[in-house]
Amino acid sequence: MSSSVILDTQVLIWWVQKSTRLTAVAIEIIESAPEVYFSAASVFEIEMKRPKIPLIPIDLAAEFLKVGFSELPITSDHAAEIGMQESLFGHDPFDRLLIAQAEATGLKLVTADGKLTKLQPANTIAI
């Protein structure tokens, strides 16, 4: 049985852009998940980096919802979970928040971030 997943920002961008960087395995993981989530943190990260990311729709949340993903808001429990990630101190704050959300909700984080997958945090699926 597949687990529900939350997508890393990079994976979200690739999905929306229909990028060939998404492998068949990654597509299978996403398509077979009972529920696929995106984080408000990813929308924030993309908006901060928008000038560097071409071809991103203006209304990101609407685009993610249109493809069938559910939004995962950021809660105080998610923020508190960040402090439990001692191995990730100094790592990208957006990734830390996504991992915290995955931990707090029991979701699997689907990521292609090599730096992150080398640390092997719990609840991640490397693609």
Start-to-end CA distance of the chain, whole Å, equals: 18
Question: How many CB atoms are closer than 10 A to CB 101?
Answer: 27
pTM of the model: 0.85
Residue 110 has pLDDT above 90, yes or no: yes
Written as one letter, the residue type at 57 is P
pLDDT in tens, 80-95: 777 676 666 667 788 8
Work out the burial of residue 19: count CB atoms within 10 Å of its CB; fewer than 13 is exposed, 13-18 middle, 19 or more buried. exposed
Regarding the domain delimited by 5-126, which CATH topology (the fold level of the hierarchy) does it fall under? Rossmann fold (3.40.50)
pLDDT in tens, 34-60: 999 999 999 888 888 877 776 676 788
Looking at the DSSP assignment, which residues form a beta bridge with residue 37?
6, 70
Q: Where are the domains of the chain?
A: 5-126
pLDDT in tens, 58-78: 788 888 999 999 999 998 888
pLDDT of residue 93: 83
Residue 1 has pLDDT above 50, yes or no: no
